[in-house]
A and B are shown apart, each in its own frame.
Chain A
Amino acid sequence: MIRQDARGPIESLTVPLIESPTMLTSAAATTSGNAAEGDVSTVLVVDDEPTARLALAARLKRLGYRVIQVGDGKAGLEALRRERPSLTILDWMMPEMDGPSFCEYVRQDPELLTSQILMMTSHDQPEQIAEGLARGADDFLSKAASKHEITARVQAGIRAATLVKRLRDATEEIRQKQEALEKELQSAARYVESLLPPPGAILPGVQMVHVYRPSLALGGDLFNIVPWSDDFLGLYLLDASGHGVSPALRSSSFATFLRRDSLLRHVGSNDPGAILTEANKQFPLTESGHYFTIVFASLDLRCHSLSYATAGHGGALLHRRSGEVCWMAQPNLPLGFDSSTTYVTVTLPIGPGDRLYLLSDGLYEFPAASGELWGKSRLEKTIQALGQQPLETVITETIAEAVRWQGHEQFPDDVALMGVEVAI
């Protein structure tokens, strides 16, 4: 088929293999699968010398390739962009745009840069070959090459183009799968965040504000409230070891166990120590050694008391209205380390203006650029310095101070901070 357009004559032709039996076999191998699928490889020939171009095109057609011919570099680029051939055979010396300039242009174009280019010229000195390769050609072929060498070089170029295409297709497939996976993760993250309590009044006279910043799309930290009655409230913050999907799933499972109905059924008590002692039996170490730390507190407005128990969790502090800070850590193991552990409840008085902060270790075990950890001491001083400013301000400014310390927004571990203020 011959067609004509504004850029000059372009011949596009598919010819069956008719050369020697050897070539028939070789060419069939080069375009393996193509013939069966009816997808014949296309070769673009860019040469300003009509005789050489026509001779090469004829040879390629006999090998079974679809051939496109153009007479200069500029038309070659247009054909390359339009036709996306498997291989471009390019003359070095051409008017306006020579072969090496053509190669440089192609290698700088994101859409074309993986094109396979075979430079063909009478310049076959080693220095010239090196220059051609350095400027973007994939292979070199002397104009004096035998027909067998030409055939072999073309086949090698087509083979490389096939591999590049496979790699590009595989990359695109991975990208699509990654995109689908990220959508799934975002959906799961929205579910996990839906488990968190809404901020605001959690009991008459009791306000709660929180921040939740997982290090990945999904985090292993989780916190919530357990409404025991109109003036009696459970609060917890748990931290599943590890990052990503697995700890998020384990935390969700644990959160289900910590629902009011479940606790009444499994534990039969709202005592924090009893709850953690039972949870320790229900959630042993996983096969890969993953576990939970947790603080569980019960706020009793009738008795103005705060009862709590912790399991390997150091992130709980009481900031009294007087300014005194009391860390609520207890010397005991995380859940699952020892099934015989009994977790003990500690009770403190609590009064108007006192604030309870439950937090994950990700809020104090992170380094500055120097490697120095922020630590509990700096966290405590920050909260103390913010004093009795509105609870929301304290929460926001504490995170901001932590971000200033590490020098960037992204924490290396999940970060959760829940603040609770008792007003009555």
Chain B
Amino acid sequence: MPITQRAWRDATVIHVDDVFTYRNRKDFSSVVAAFRASGGRHLIVDLHEATYMDSSALGLLALTSQQLSVEERWISLVGPQGTVKQVLEMANIDKMIAVFPTEDAAAAARAAEWNDTSRSGCI
């Protein structure tokens, strides 16, 4: 299964193995829908094992980011390699979605952000 999910700390982690294209976008969307229904705050998309991503998948990441942003939730990308990294860089996706080397780094950054916003009373 190229798209799987697991709960990790306070986040939901989606693992994308092999390719991420229009062929498995429905699987990805289903996991995102379950995450949104769960009330979770942080969605991590782990791309360490992803070998290829097409424009359809890129658009899905952007759409998910827009949806979660409105709902004051976070999405993080983790560990893109090779071609996937190039596709994300060409689209400058880091201007929209934070990219981290590891799940730990993503969780730490979001925890710090959460603490900052909590202290400032924004959330």
B63 contacts A333, CB within 8 Å?
no
Residues of A within 8 A of B55 (CB): 239, 241-242, 291, 361
Q: A276 CA to B87 CA in the complex, in Å?
A: 21
Chain B residues 67 to 107 lying within 8 A of chain A, measured CB to CB, are: 83, 87, 90-93, 95-96
Q: A365 CA to B91 CA in the complex, in Å?
A: 13
Residues of B within 8 A of A333 (CB): 62, 91-93, 95-96
B63 contacts A285, CB within 8 Å?
yes
Query: What's the nearest-Cβ distance from chain A to residue B64, in Å?
Result: 8
Q: Give the interface residue-count category, chain A.
A: 20 to 34
B63 contacts A334, CB within 8 Å?
no
A337 contacts B62, CB within 8 Å?
yes
Residues of A within 8 A of B (CB): 239, 241-242, 285, 288-291, 293, 312, 314, 329, 331-334, 336-338, 361, 365, 373
A contacts with B: majority SS? loop
Known A-B contacts A242-B22, A285-B66, A314-B90; the reply to A290 vs B59 at CB < 8 A is: yes
Q: Select from chain A the residue with minimum beta-carbon distance to B57.
A: A289
Residues of B within 8 A of A (CB): 22, 25, 55-56, 58-64, 66, 83, 87, 90-93, 95-96
Q: A404 CA to B22 CA in the complex, in Å?
A: 27
B96 contacts A338, CB within 8 Å?
yes
Q: A338 CA to B97 CA in the complex, in Å?
A: 11
Residues of B within 8 A of A288 (CB): 25, 59-60, 63
Query: What's the nearest-Cβ distance from chain A to residue B25, in Å?
Result: 8
A285 contacts B22, CB within 8 Å?
no
A285 contacts B62, CB within 8 Å?
yes
Residues of A within 8 A of B61 (CB): 289
Given A288-B59, A290-B59, 14 additional A-B pairs, CB 8 A: A242-B22, A242-B55, A285-B59, A288-B25, A289-B60, A290-B56, A312-B92, A333-B91, A334-B62, A336-B62, A337-B62, A337-B91, A361-B55, A365-B87
